[in-house]
Chains A and B, each alone.
Chain A
C-alpha cells in the first residue's frame, strides 16, 4: 500500500532514523548516569584495577570491522552480487558474535575478580550500560543472521536493498554508541 511518500524517504527508513533518535536519549541517559557516578565508589574493586584496555581494544576493532562488512554487504546486495551478499552478511553478525564473546569473557572475568553486579556503583553502572549495548548487538546479530539465512535460501536480492540498508543503519548506530562507550569507560579510566 506504500506509494510515494510526502518526504521521499521510505516509511521504514524514516522509522529507523526516528527510532535511532529515540535510542540516543536512551543511551544518553545511561551514559550520563555512568559519568555522574564515575569515581564515586565507596568500595572496590575500582575500574582502573579491572579494565583491560588492550583486550577491549581488540574486540572494539572487531566490532568496527563488522561495520565495514556491513557496508560491503549492502554494496553486494545493491550490485546483485549473490555470492558477496552471502559472504558479507555472514561476516557481519559473526564479528558481532566475536564482540559479544569478548563481552561475555570480560563480564565473567570481572565477577571472578570480585565485582558482581551488586558490588558498588561502578558494577551497577558498568554492567547495565555495557549490558544494554550488548543486548542491542545481540538483537542486531539475530537480525543480520536472519538476513543471511534468507540470502542462503536465495530469497534476498537487489529488491531487498532497502531492508539491508535499514539493518545497516541500526548496526552502524550500535557501533557508534560503542565508540562513545569505549572512549568514556576505557580510555578515560
Chain B
C-alpha cells in the first residue's frame, strides 16, 4: 500500500473520482476508511432489507385470502421472526450506521472517525452475525419465537432445536459491534469537530447520531444481559425465567423492552435527523427553531428510557404502573410534535424544490405523523388493551418504521448519493420510485388499521372468511407486491447513474453544510484543508468569513462556491489499512458458531480472537506516514 503522502498525492488532484472506489478486493477487506465502510454497511444492509422484504411478501401471500395453506404454521412463525429480527438488527441498524459512517465525519469536518480499525471491526462482526443468523435457513432451524423472543415460549422446553440459539448468538455477536460503534461515534462527534464547530452549530443529522450513540451505549447492555440469561437458561439449565424455580418470566419482557423501546428511537431519530437536514436544503431556509429541534431530540431520547412498559400494558402490572408509563408515553408526543411543526415552519415561506430527497422527506413528515397518532391512541391502556396483538399495532409500527425510518433513509440516500459517488441520479426515475413506494406503502399498511380494529390477531397464520377481513388483507397483499414494482425505477436509476450519470460537482443541491465543501466523491482524506466554522449552515454565508481558511472563491459563472482547494498544502497522514479487525471478528464468529455445541471450536475462536487483538494492539496505525 502506498504511503500516506503518496495516497494524498494520488487522490488529491481533480482526478480523485477513484479515491473511494479504486483498488481490488483486498483493499476493501482491509479498509479502515469511513466512506468505504459506509458503502459496505449500506450494500450489506440493503441486501438484508431485500431478504426481509421478501420474507414479508411471503407472509402476505399466506394472508392474501382466508384459510390459505400456502405456508404451514411453523414456517409462518419462522418467517415473521426472521422478517422482524432482520429488519431491525440486520437491515435498519446497519443502514443507519452506513449513514453515520459516511455523513458524520464529513459534516463535522473530520478526516475519519476516532477509531478507524474499530469501525472496520464493527462492520465485520455485524456481517458475521447476519450470516450466522441466516445459516439457520439451510439448516431448517430458523428461530420462531418472534423478534421479541418472549420467555418462557423461547426456553428449551417450548422451543427445542437450534432456532432460538441462532437468534441469541447472532444478536450477541452483532451487539458487540453495535456497542463498539456507539463508543466510536460518541467519541468522534465529541472530539473531532472542526475548529468553530460548537455543539449548537452541528448539523441535525450529526446531532441525532450523537444522541443515538448514547442510546446504543445505554440500551444495548440490558439486552445483552437478557440474551446471556436466555442462553444460559437454554444451554446450561439455569432458571432466570423459570417460574417453577421461583423466577418471574416477565423479567425477560422488562429486559427486552427497556432495550426495545430506546431501540425504536435508535431507529427513528437518525431518520428525523436526515429530514432535518434535507428540508432546509430544499426550502433554501435554515431550520426553523434549530435549538428546539435539537432539544426535542434529546428529550425524546431521555423519555424513551421511561416508557417501556407501554409494550406490556396487557401483562397486568397494575393500574398505577400502567398510568405512570401511559403518561410518560403521551409526553413523548410533545417533542415529536414540536419537530413536525418545525419542519413545516421551515418549509413555510421557503423556496421549495420538490426533488426526490425532498419528496421522501415530506413523505416522512406526513406518514410519520399518522404513525405517531396511532401511537398516541395505544399510549392509553384501555385503548391499548383493545388494540394490542392486533394488526392495528402492525399498522402503527410500519407507519413509524417504514413511513418514518425507510422514507428517511431513502431521502438521505437520494440526498447524499451524488456526494458518495460523484454522479447525479435521474429526478424522473427518482420521483417514479417515490410515488410508487408511497402508494405501495399506504396500500399495504393502511388497511391493517381496519383489519386490526376488526380484531385480526398478529402472528397468526390464517383467519376465517366471513369476518370482514378478506378485502383488507387482499389489499395489503397487493400493496406488498407493488413494492417490487416500486423497486424497478430505483434499479434503473442506479444503472443509469453507473453508465451515464452526470457529474455531480461538490454541491449539486446548493446545500449549506460542510460535506458539500469537498469534492464528490470526497478524496481519501475528506478535506484538503481542515475547515473552520463560524456559524450554522456555513455554505450559505460563504463570503462573510475572510481569513477563516476555507472561505472560497466563486466558480466561474456558478453560484455554487467551491470551497476546498484541489490539493492539500501539506501531506495528510491517514491510518493504514489493516486486516486485524477482520481476524478478530472472524475469531468471535468462530466462537459464536462453536457456542452451538462445540467447546473446541469456541476455544479455537477465542485463540483467533486473541491473535487478532494482539496483532491489532501492536500494529502502528500509520506505518508510512512519518
The answer to whether A22 and B245 touch across the interface, beta carbons within 8 angstroms, is: no
List residues of chain A with CB within 8 A of the CB of B244. Answer: 42
Q: Does B228 contact A (CB under 8 A)?
A: yes
List residues of chain A with CB within 8 A of the CB of B246. Answer: 37, 40-42, 120-121
Choose among B225, B574, B625 the residue that contacts A33 (Cβ–Cβ < 8 A): B225
- Name the residue of chain A whose CB is nearest to the CB of B614: A146
Q: Does A11 contact B (CB under 8 A)?
A: yes
Q: How far is the CA of A21 from the CA of B186 in the complex (A)?
A: 12
Of the candidate stretches B133-141, B187-195, B490-498, B562-570, the one touching chain A is B187-195
The answer to whether B238 and A42 touch across the interface, beta carbons within 8 angstroms, is: no
Chain A: interface secondary structure? helix
The answer to whether A33 and B251 touch across the interface, beta carbons within 8 angstroms, is: yes
Q: Does A19 contact B (CB under 8 A)?
A: yes
Q: Does B236 contact A (CB under 8 A)?
A: yes
A113 to chain B, nearest CB (A): 18
Most buried by B among A18, A40, A43: A18
Of the candidate stretches A23-31, A50-58, A178-186, the one touching chain B is A23-31
The answer to whether B232 and A128 touch across the interface, beta carbons within 8 angstroms, is: yes
List residues of chain A with CB within 8 A of the CB of B625. Answer: 1
List residues of chain B with CB within 8 A of the CB of A25. Answer: 217-219, 221-222
List residues of chain B with CB within 8 A of the CB of A26. Answer: 221-222, 224-225
Q: Does B398 contact A (CB under 8 A)?
A: no
List residues of chain B with CB within 8 A of the CB of A37. Answer: 246-247
Q: How far is the CA of A61 from the CA of B219 in the complex (A)?
A: 33
List residues of chain B with CB within 8 A of the CB of A23. Answer: 221
List residues of chain B with CB within 8 A of the CB of A132. Answer: 228
Q: Does B575 contact A (CB under 8 A)?
A: yes
The answer to whether B237 and A1 touch across the interface, beta carbons within 8 angstroms, is: no
A residues 33-53 near B (Cβ < 8 Å) are 33, 36-37, 40-43
- Name the residue of chain A whose CB is nearest to the CB of B199: A6
The answer to whether A128 and B190 touch across the interface, beta carbons within 8 angstroms, is: no
A73 to chain B, nearest CB (A): 18
List residues of chain A with CB within 8 A of the CB of B277. Answer: none
Most buried by B among A23, A28, A40, A124: A124
Choose among A1, A21, A40, A124 the residue that contacts B238 (Cβ–Cβ < 8 A): A124
Q: Does A9 contact B (CB under 8 A)?
A: yes
Of the candidate stretches B110-118, B381-389, B455-463, the one touching chain A is B110-118
The answer to whether B217 and A22 touch across the interface, beta carbons within 8 angstroms, is: yes
List residues of chain A with CB within 8 A of the CB of B614. Answer: 146
Q: Does B182 contact A (CB under 8 A)?
A: yes
A117 to chain B, nearest CB (A): 6
A4 to chain B, nearest CB (A): 9
B residues 382-426 near A (Cβ < 8 Å) are none
Q: Does B311 contact A (CB under 8 A)?
A: no
The answer to whether B221 and A40 touch across the interface, beta carbons within 8 angstroms, is: no
List residues of chain A with CB within 8 A of the CB of B450. Answer: none
B residues 187-235 near A (Cβ < 8 Å) are 187, 190-193, 197, 217-222, 224-226, 228-229, 232
Q: Known contacts A42-B246, A121-B247; is A15 also within 8 Å of B221 by CB?
A: no
The answer to whether A15 and B247 touch across the interface, beta carbons within 8 angstroms, is: no
List residues of chain B with CB within 8 A of the CB of A120. Answer: 239, 245-246
- Name the residue of chain A whose CB is nearest to the CB of B188: A11
Q: How far is the CA of A117 from the CA of B182 in the complex (A)?
A: 33
Q: How many residues of B contact A (CB 8 A)?
A: 47
Q: Does B535 contact A (CB under 8 A)?
A: no
The answer to whether B191 and A11 touch across the interface, beta carbons within 8 angstroms, is: yes
Q: Render B146-184 as a binary contact track against A, CB cut-off 8 A, 1 for contact.
A: 000000000000000000000000000000000100111
The answer to whether A9 and B191 touch across the interface, beta carbons within 8 angstroms, is: yes
Choose among A22, A42, A128 the residue that contacts B183 (Cβ–Cβ < 8 A): A22
The answer to whether A118 and B183 touch across the interface, beta carbons within 8 angstroms, is: no
The answer to whether A6 and B222 touch across the interface, beta carbons within 8 angstroms, is: no
Q: How far is the CA of A36 from the CA of B254 in the complex (A)?
A: 12
- Name the residue of chain A whose CB is nearest to the CB of B195: A6
The answer to whether A40 and B247 touch across the interface, beta carbons within 8 angstroms, is: yes
The answer to whether B239 and A118 touch across the interface, beta carbons within 8 angstroms, is: yes
A176 to chain B, nearest CB (A): 17
List residues of chain B with CB within 8 A of the CB of A125. Answer: 240
List residues of chain B with CB within 8 A of the CB of A117. Answer: 232, 236-238
B residues 587-610 near A (Cβ < 8 Å) are none
A residues 80-108 near B (Cβ < 8 Å) are none
The answer to whether A123 and B186 touch across the interface, beta carbons within 8 angstroms, is: no
The answer to whether B240 and A124 touch across the interface, beta carbons within 8 angstroms, is: yes
B416 to chain A, nearest CB (A): 24
B485 to chain A, nearest CB (A): 43
Choose among A18, A28, A30, A146 the residue that contacts B187 (Cβ–Cβ < 8 A): A18
The answer to whether A30 and B245 touch across the interface, beta carbons within 8 angstroms, is: no
Q: Does A68 contact B (CB under 8 A)?
A: no
Q: Render B500-534 as a binary contact track against A, CB cut-off 8 A, 1 for contact.
A: 00000000000000000000000000000000000
Q: How far is the CA of A37 from the CA of B238 in the complex (A)?
A: 13
Choose among B111, B218, B220, B255 the residue that contacts A1 (Cβ–Cβ < 8 A): B111
List residues of chain A with CB within 8 A of the CB of B247. Answer: 37, 40, 121, 124
Q: How far is the CA of A37 from the CA of B239 in the complex (A)?
A: 10
The answer to whether B218 and A22 touch across the interface, beta carbons within 8 angstroms, is: yes
The answer to whether A29 and B622 touch across the interface, beta carbons within 8 angstroms, is: no
List residues of chain B with CB within 8 A of the CB of A118. Answer: 236-239
Most buried by A among B111, B192, B193, B255: B192
Q: Does A189 contact B (CB under 8 A)?
A: no
Q: Does B431 contact A (CB under 8 A)?
A: no
Q: Render B278-319 as a binary contact track against A, CB cut-off 8 A, 1 for contact.
A: 000000000000000000000000000000000000000000
Q: How far is the CA of A138 from the CA of B217 in the complex (A)?
A: 23
Q: How far is the CA of A120 from the CA of B330 in the complex (A)?
A: 41
The answer to whether B191 and A7 touch across the interface, beta carbons within 8 angstroms, is: yes
Q: Render B610-626 as a binary contact track against A, CB cut-off 8 A, 1 for contact.
A: 00001001000110010
Starting from the known contacts A14-B187, A42-B246, A124-B240, 15 additional A-B residue pairs (CB-CB under 8 Å) come to A6-B191, A6-B192, A6-B197, A11-B114, A11-B187, A26-B221, A29-B221, A37-B246, A42-B245, A43-B245, A118-B236, A120-B246, A121-B247, A123-B238, A128-B229
Question: Can you name 7 A-B pairs with beta carbons within 8 Å?
Answer: A18-B186, A25-B219, A25-B222, A29-B225, A36-B251, A124-B232, A128-B232
Q: Which 3 pairs from chain A and chain B are nearest by CB?
A: A118-B237, A124-B238, A25-B221
| A residues apposed to B, CB below 8 Å | 1, 5-7, 9, 11, 14-15, 18-19, 21-23, 25-26, 28-30, 33, 36-37, 40-43, 117-118, 120-121, 123-125, 128, 132, 146
| B residues apposed to A, CB below 8 Å | 111-112, 114-115, 179, 182-184, 186-187, 190-193, 197, 217-222, 224-226, 228-229, 232, 236-240, 244-248, 251, 255, 573-575, 614, 617, 621-622, 625
